[in-house]
A and B are shown apart, each in its own frame.
Chain A
Amino acid sequence: QSVLTQPPSVSGAPGQRVTISCTGSNSNIGADYNVHWYRQVPGKAPKLFIYGNNNRPSGVPDRFSGSKSGTSASLAISGLQADDEADYYCQSYDSSLRGYVFGSGTKVTVL
């Protein structure tokens, strides 16, 4: 199982706000390593969506925001739109494993 824990799915109506949680431990998120988020559309490669906890690469709408506190992080999507449907993965670094760790992934569904 994944080192970082995410809910398998979240859903919301168009225009609503949803959040995806990412829970780690004291050897990764809690050890002050940043959290990053990737978006993956089925059949496509993952794409960087949020880096350094709350920074958006060029082209990512400001409806998406990230935060981190303690051993957890979250990705918020406001003004949910149909094309927000995708799988979202959190990622950090783990000092005990001496490697990069991903969350289990969350499927966002727009009702």
Chain B
Amino acid sequence: EVQLLESGGGLVQPGGSLRLSCAASGFTFSTSAMSWVRQAPGKGLEWVSIVATIGDPTYYADSVKGRFTISRDNSKNTLYLQMNSLRVEDTAMYYCARKYTGSYHFDHWGQGTLVTVSS
């Protein structure tokens, strides 16, 4: 069974940094592209970033480009999101999602980790 378990969320002040992790199990992690999708409180889904199987290339939404960095460690079956220069508008539930190979959709999602940016 595919499982994705996010961690690392919490309360951080504007301008601060946070690193999210997503531990994957139940599939061959190194053969799947992985993504982060976020959802602000009461709002819709917003794609954040994606990383290819070997860690490159990476792509980002314009809203986080230059501030967030996605990476992965295939030896640890773990996906990361380093978030710097955080803004109040980055407050959201952050979901880790597996991209289905050969398609542009996400077939498995984690339960999410909440990031709150507030002073």
Give A contacts to B, CB under 8 Å. Answer: 2, 33-34, 36, 38, 40, 44-48, 51-52, 57, 89, 91-93, 97-105
Contacts and interface: CB of A to CB of B under 8 A. Distances in A.
Contacts of A46: 37, 45, 95, 109
10 tightest A-B CB contacts, nearest first: A36-B105, A100-B47, A93-B104, A105-B44, A102-B45, A45-B109, A51-B105, A104-B44, A45-B111, A48-B107
Contacts, number: 64
A34 to B, nearest CB: 7
Interface string B18-48: 0000000000000000010100000011110
Contacts of A2: 44
Given A45-B95, A51-B100, A93-B104, A102 B47 contact: yes
Interface of B: 35, 37, 44-47, 50, 59-62, 95, 100, 103-112
A89 B61 CA distance: 18
Contacts of A34: 103-105
Contacts of B103: 34, 36, 51-52
